[in-house]
Structure 1
């Protein structure tokens, strides 16, 4: 049996042994309701999905974590069962919603915040603004605040073409959110490096170049920019780990055990810091 097959078999066995029934929870906002789910007991892990992705993408990770952690997932405004006020959402608006989920479902706990792609950007920014609420941070192939500036320096025409292609296939609500996000990441201040908080971090970076790249980030040139952005991001943290994986962008779906290992490592690091 190959190492990869063994990993998947072990993950499946852990999932069967540790699966817990998820409880649906509503988080009320001023003009809409966010739908969240939580399962398990123990250290609280809050998951933030990538752009346009729902909370179900974390189900294999949560199952493999087992009932010894309390996993919290939710759908961002306008997605899944969550409502919306009809306005395109800025980074700040999404951070406010994330803060409400944490405050409502884990008011007395420091949480481990896990974010993928755009969710990784949100997790990073939340950590910068509210480090006192976190035990640690797990960033799964995250978007960085300065990546569009770096990608435009590499190939501005390709970035514009990718934007047009994405806007042509996204549903209207997500297209509006994407345009708002792009405007924020293209702003001059997005190129300024951010100061990172003193929390343990586990950063996971994908290295696979797509056989038929859909966007610049999947090309050899784009992947070099991506890795450089992640190296710069990690350099801003005082403690943690940065690992590379020969997978595509969705590491948590291709290798959920890697995310479980990262969560446990961050948990242990936070615990050792206390003692």
Structure 2
């Protein structure tokens, strides 16, 4: 899943903090309004997609590091933070479509750099497959993958199911419904289908830290080995870019925001170079 037990606990308290001088922008959807925070007036549009249950504020330190180099857009998905909801549990595809609306509204007609963490990393890769013409580059921050859950289930099905039960016992009802729908999709046969990646510059950042007291499979040495293998396979599906391993936990953007900001700067530079 790309969702450690500790990360999800953090996610249940959505951050309300905003970046200094941020301008709030509404994006109208069918039956609800998404609220985005815009920062900076630089020539490059950077759109951030947060992890499961997390809002725009988690990117504060990364955006501050970028300063005025970029036009940064961070937002909370439907039902999170200041964003509204129509009360319906959203599929991966529905979230991808909301991301598209965000880009169309706040970076109309321009290619963007997409940055995604965990579940947000899965969303930006799915968006890039469907709309490569809208993307200049990708930055994947410890991303979840469509095939990851199946790999964990193959390694230790009983442990994964026990972890699901523990997690669902702690999540608020709406977030629990989101999680149930997500695992249903990742358990489906379609999740195992091969997906071609577009020819885009990519920076993939992988956490390597094993928890001293693991609470879920993902935090164990066995789980981390699977995590690394999933990321290696994901990176191999791109034709250009850089894969970094960082000695952090799952929330790389909070533990080492400069590494994420530097990765964004690197892909921006790479995207500006002509390809052969």
Using the size of structure 2 for normalisation, the TM-score is 0.91
Shift of 1:41: 1.3
Matches within 5 A, 1:1-275: 21-42=21-42, 43-273=44-274
Q: Give the C-alpha shift of residue 191 in structure 1.
A: 1.6
1:128-169, Cα deviation, whole Å (9 max, x unpaired): 111100110000000000001000011000100111111111
Give, in whole Å, the separation in 2 of the partners of 1:118 and 1:273: 31
Secondary structure of 1:273's counterpart equals: coil
| Structure 2 unaligned residues grouped into runs of 5+ | 1-18
Give the Å deviation of 1:192. 2.2
CA distance in 2, matches of 1:255, 1:176: 31
Counterpart-to-counterpart distance in 2, 1:149 and 1:139: 20
- What is the CA distance between 1:121 and its match in structure 2? 0.1
Q: Point out 4+ residue stretches in structure 1 off by more than 6 angstroms.
A: none
Aligned length: 257
**Does the 8 A contact of 1:20 with 1:40 survive in 2?**
no
1:274 CA displacement: 6.7
Looking at structure 2, the residues matched to 273 and 167 of structure 1 have their Cα atoms a distance apart, in angstroms, of 48
Shift of the alpha carbon at 1:194?
1.3
> RMSD of the TM alignment (CA)?
1.1
Is the CA contact (8 Å cut-off) linking 1:20 and 1:66 kept in structure 2? no
Question: Which residue in the other structure is 1:3 paired with?
Answer: none
Partner SS for 2:21: coil
User: What is the CA–CA distance in structure 2 between the aligned matches of 1:57 and 1:274, rounded to whole Å?
Assistant: 34
More helix by share: 1
Provide the C-alpha distance between the structure 2 equivalents of 1:104 and 1:22, rounded to a whole number of angstroms.
17
| CA distance in structure 2 between the partners assigned to 1:37 and 1:172 by the alignment | 27
2-structure distance, mates of 1:40, 1:180:
36
Contact 1:146-1:193 at 8 Å conserved across structures: no
> What SS class does the counterpart of residue 66 from structure 1 fall into?
helix
Structure 1 residue 20: Cα displacement: 5.5
| 1:215 to partner: Cα distance | 1.4
Return the TM-score normalized by structure 1: 0.92
Match of 2:14 in 1: none
